[in-house]
Structure 1
Amino acid sequence: MSTEVDLKDVELNEVDQEKQPMTGGDTGNGDASSPTVTEKNGMVSLTIPKDQESKFTGLSKDELIQVAGTPGWVRTRWALLILFWLGWLGMLAGAIGIIIQAPRCKPLPEMNWWNQGPMYEIGDVAAFSNDLEGLKGKVDSLSQLKVKGLVVGPIHKAPTDDIAELDLNSMAVSGDLVPFKALLEAAHKKSMKVVLDLTPNYQGQQRWFDNLMGAAEKLKVALVHWQKQGVDGFKLSGFERVFSLNSTLWDDIRTIALQPQEDKEGKEKERSALFGVTEKTSAEEVGTLLNSSGVDLLLSGVLRAANTNQSGQLLADAVEKLYGTLNQTKLAWGISDREQGHLATLLGSSGSGPVKFYQTLLFTLPGTPIFNYGDEIGLEDTASSKSPKMVWYSDEDAEKLNGTDKAEMEERLSVRKVFKALSELRSKERSLLHGDYIPLASSGSTLAYLRSWDQSDRYTAVFNWGPDEATFNLKHEQLPPQAKVCVSTDSTLSDMVDLQGLKLAAGQAVLLKTPYLG
């Protein structure tokens, strides 16, 4: 027992030693007992300055309540509140001022689907794609060209000059309606409309037979039939004969053709469109017919007549007369068709230059451009037919072809590239879609005009039909000194050109872009 007690005492004494005061030891005078500090082992005593002993923690709730009611704080709060509302009212007044001073957007004109892009005519389905199933397979390719409407046919049974065998409800290219309905469905999925050519005696000299009344009655029945199938519009050649001989009969046909239809869910769809074709070439006659007949688009020979003379002045006069008296949404421009042939042949010039030239013209005039199938690649008629076989190229063809065949393919694809570029511009640029037409210059061999709409970019189209280089000095309050080249058939032009002293080579065209100047 005594041993255990002694050990515990030792342990406690050792612990107590750690808590003993620290001494400075021998100070040099032999007095080892006088302490120099009062800290203990393991502990440090810190002295905090008096100015750091307390921190400000803010006013208490009671103190805030007492201060809030003092006159000084009341005046401060009112001053801040007044400044806030003055600032808010100032910003409101500034916003109103900006709105008032900003130029107002011009209201958009009424546009229909046939005004949105080019019409693409396929008069001979067999030559274009073998059959309706093949045509369905080409819808995606045509959609890439921004085509908005397919004008198909005629495809009905109509033996030449034989009204007894005329069957406008039938299809000469297919035994039933299944492939035609599949074509309609495929086109509609691509936001593309289908117009059916129902010209009764399309293979004969007299488009409506000698028995006008008999042909008209069959047409009335056919219009209702094809509307039920989902057709979006109808094209009628030589319609002015019906209109001039029997206006009441024409009114009946027009009423049926424009009758709104219902979709599968019973909702009313867009009404059908009615396209008319006339051989008249006088701007005055065409304007009168369009104003009085009530067709939605009128295809005429005005542009073909101007092309025959290759006169910018004649074309400028015709366009100004029609544009000045008609709503441009009813104007249609085309040179080629099923009866006349293809653009490359009608122009009578070799190479792709003239085709690109007229593509630029058709896409930039106010109105709807209409092309024959194959015009996008410069397809030419053959010696025996105005309905040549359509040419299609694939990636494999590009690898296999060489020599003359490859050069021909590259040339056709370059024409298609220009067509696509122009079509894309027209589909999205308001100045080209429905902008104002402003003449800038015209002569026997040159033409230049400006297309502008509100605050959108401006587009200037310039053409030189002549055999020599032409110089243009294009001035207008909406035009800056320079313009950007968008599409050009003249490879010598740079990306930016001066509008004063613009030189354009013989037989060339260019489409220029300039910004809205404000």
Structure 2
Amino acid sequence: MPVNAGNIGYGNVPVSASETAPLLIPEPASLWKPMTKEELEAADGPGWRKVRFYLVLLFWLAWVAMLTTSAAIIIKSSQPVAEPLKWWQKSLFYQVQADQWTEEQAEGSEGIYVHEQLPYLRSLGIGALILRGVFDVEVSPSNLTATDANFGTLAWMQHLLSESRKADLKIVLDLCELDLLGPQDVGGNLSAATQRALHFWLEHGVSGFVICDTDAAYSEKTLLEWRGVFGEFSSREEERIVVVNQTADVLRPLNGSGQINITLVDVVMRSILPHSHHLLSAQEVASAIQTNLQTRGDDIWPSWTVAGKTSDELRKLLLVLVMTLPGSPTIQDDNKMEKTKDKGEKNRAAVQLFSSLSFSRAREEALQCGSFTFLPFNTSLSSNSSCVPPLCPPILAFLRSWGCAHFLVLLNVGPEPHTLDPTWASRLPEAGMFVASTGMDRFGSASLYTLRLQPYEAIVIKLFEAGSHS
């Protein structure tokens, strides 16, 4: 082929190009150049240091915030969410024979007056008073707004209601065993006189009424009419309630219906002991407690109380029991609990035990709305004990739990000391803290492996799970 063969060139280089032209066309100069020494020194000035410091600080703060939020979500998700309790579900009820207050006040200036007694009871954690003895047993619906001649004047009752509002105490009137319908109330219809009486007391600030399950008013028709009257005065914080006093081992069905309508009854007051005219023995008390703990119903909100007679040692044990059972405890009137001018050593010990239990219950969700588990307990008696089952009642125990919080309640109803069986105790967390005891002489940490219960002693222990510091 001729050297000068037309305009054909080699590659991308035209024939007309100069021989000195470069064969490869260089790339355009880069827009980014390495920083010079002077530029680097300028970037390390005070302004840039401050910017870098705040950027690093912002990064670590964001990291810590994300870590804290994640931990809070995990902890909160593991805890159950409780429905808000109503006032009567959170309250401690104190049942008072109210005519005794008027008698004490009539004795003279040495007595404790209502305006002193009510704030004192509220300071102990009591939220509501159930007043008994206000009306004559033979009262009729037409004079249900009049008080018993032995109780005092109506003006004194109105003064009591006024002072209770100042002390933030609810008042519930006991109408048990009263004839609330009368002969003219055919078919259980609420008479106009009874409706006027209910309006009268509700307008004066009464928060509810107690009736017995043997009363004629204990019927679905009557309670529905009561609910209609209550609706005119009720709000969530001022809800009016019906308390039914259970007189037998099993709650009776509503009169005329053959069944219990739980929507018409707010609280069922039950006694942990059977009614008796003699002092119940330790074995009888243990049997009654065990029966009630194993057959406890969850359909209606309970209020446990102690109606049977027993010894002083067992009364303290029963106080611990009713204050730790599910529901709203009802404490029978006791001179040891009320304010007096000269409070003896026994009174101070009773008040100390009650205050410890009431304050623990007020701040611990496990004791307010936690689950209930009855525990079969194994114990061993001392070698020289002369007491053998069934004469020696066993240890009774139950657990109240809410999330990771567990409260163990131990009851030694017998006259002999008991040592816990370590094999049984291994099923629960070993470590715990004493919350209360009948002798108020248990303090600090507790170990189930070395615990020894004294005769007629009740103990409340808050158990700690492994890795828990609550």
Per the TM superposition, whether the score is higher than 0.5 is yes
Q: Is the 8 A contact 1:357 1:489 kept in 2?
A: yes
1:429 matched residue in structure 2:
364
2:68 matched residue in structure 1:
95
| CA shift digits 1:225-271 (9 cap, x unpaired) | 11111212222224664445xx2233112332354348xxxxx8622
Structure 2: how far apart are the matches of 1:128 and 1:331?
Answer: 30
1:496-515 paired onto structure 2 within 5 Å:
496-515=445-464
Q: Is the 8 A contact 1:236 1:275 kept in 2?
A: yes
Structure 1: gaps spanning 5 or more residues: 1-66, 263-267, 337-342, 378-390, 399-408
Aligned-pair distance for 1:189?
Answer: 2.4
1:403 matched residue in structure 2:
none
Structure 2: how far apart are the matches of 1:145 and 1:479?
Answer: 32
Q: Which moved more, 1:501-510 or 1:141-150?
A: 501-510
1:297 matched residue in structure 2:
267
Question: Of 282, 294, 305, which aligns to 2:250?
Answer: 282
Q: Is the 8 A contact 2:131 2:171 kept in 1?
A: yes
C-alpha change, 1:466 and 1:209, in structure 2 (3 Å) is farther
C-alpha change, 1:285 and 1:175, in structure 2 (3 Å) is closer
Structure 1: how far apart are the matches of 2:37 and 2:226?
Answer: 86
Question: Of 168, 191, 204, which aligns to 1:229?
Answer: 204
1:373 matched residue in structure 2:
333
C-alpha change, 1:103 and 1:90, in structure 2 (3 Å) is same
1:37 matched residue in structure 2:
none
Q: Which moved more, 1:114-123 or 1:485-494?
A: 485-494
Q: Is the 8 A contact 2:210 2:242 kept in 1?
A: yes
1:319 matched residue in structure 2:
293
Question: Of 311, 321, 333, which aligns to 2:304?
Answer: 333
Q: Does 1:149 align with 2:119?
A: no
- Give the letter for the 2:325 counterpart: L
Q: Which moved more, 1:466-475 or 1:249-258?
A: 466-475
- Give the secondary-structure state (helix, strand or coil) at the position aligned to 1:138: helix
Aligned-pair distance for 1:312?
Answer: 4.2
Structure 2: how far apart are the matches of 1:312 and 1:184?
Answer: 39
C-alpha change, 1:128 and 1:480, in structure 2 (3 Å) is farther
Q: Is the 8 A contact 1:446 1:464 kept in 2?
A: yes
Structure 2: gaps spanning 5 or more residues: 1-35, 107-111, 379-392
Structure 1: how far apart are the matches of 2:38 and 2:291?
Answer: 85
Structure 2: how far apart are the matches of 1:89 and 1:183?
Answer: 59
Q: Does 1:464 align with 2:399?
A: no
Structure 1: how far apart are the matches of 2:398 and 2:131?
Answer: 33
| CA shift digits 1:192-213 (9 cap, x unpaired) | 11112234x54xxx78666654
Q: Is the 8 A contact 1:282 1:302 kept in 2?
A: no
Q: Does 1:254 align with 2:227?
A: yes
C-alpha change, 1:107 and 1:93, in structure 2 (3 Å) is same
Aligned-pair distance for 1:363?
Answer: 0.6
Q: Which moved more, 1:179-188 or 1:353-362?
A: 179-188
Q: Is the 8 A contact 1:490 1:510 kept in 2?
A: no
Q: Is the 8 A contact 2:122 2:169 kept in 1?
A: yes
1:50 matched residue in structure 2:
none
Structure (1/2) with the larger helix percentage: 1
Q: Which moved more, 1:490-499 or 1:215-224?
A: 490-499
| CA shift digits 1:135-185 (9 cap, x unpaired) | 3431122122211001113423x463x648x511122334344x3333223
Computing the radius of gyration over CA atoms, which structure comes out larger, 1 or 2? 1
Structure 1: how far apart are the matches of 2:253 and 2:449?
Answer: 37
Structure 2: how far apart are the matches of 1:209 and 1:270?
Answer: 29
Aligned-pair distance for 1:430?
Answer: 2.3
Structure 2: how far apart are the matches of 1:414 and 1:84?
Answer: 57
1:353-502 paired onto structure 2 within 5 Å:
353-374=313-334, 376-377=336-337, 393-394=340-341, 397=342, 409-441=344-376, 445-456=394-405, 458-473=406-421, 479-489=428-438, 495-502=444-451
C-alpha change, 1:69 and 1:282, in structure 2 (3 Å) is farther
Structure 1: how far apart are the matches of 2:439 and 2:105?
Answer: 39
- Give the secondary-structure state (helix, strand or coil) at the position aligned to 2:326: coil
C-alpha change, 1:96 and 1:163, in structure 2 (3 Å) is closer
1:32 matched residue in structure 2:
none
Alignment RMSD, CA only? Answer: 4.0
Question: Of 146, 156, 161, which aligns to 1:170?
Answer: 146
2:96 matched residue in structure 1:
122
2:28 matched residue in structure 1:
none
Q: Is the 8 A contact 2:87 2:237 kept in 1?
A: no
Identity among equivalent positions (%) equals 17
Structure 2: how far apart are the matches of 1:290 and 1:502?
Answer: 44
Q: Is the 8 A contact 1:260 1:269 kept in 2?
A: no
1:13-52 paired onto structure 2 within 5 Å:
none
Structure 2: how far apart are the matches of 1:460 and 1:129?
Answer: 42
| CA shift digits 1:80-139 (9 cap, x unpaired) | 487566545534443343334334343222312122232111234235654699334311
Structure 1: how far apart are the matches of 2:37 and 2:336?
Answer: 82
Task: Give aligned pairs, total.
Answer: 397
1:159-238 paired onto structure 2 within 5 Å:
160=138, 163=140, 166-172=142-148, 173-177=151-155, 179-199=156-176, 201-202=177-178, 213=186, 216-217=190-191, 218-238=193-213
Structure 2: how far apart are the matches of 1:128 and 1:507?
Answer: 36
Aligned-pair distance for 1:418?
Answer: 1.7
Q: Which moved more, 1:141-150 or 1:429-438?
A: 429-438
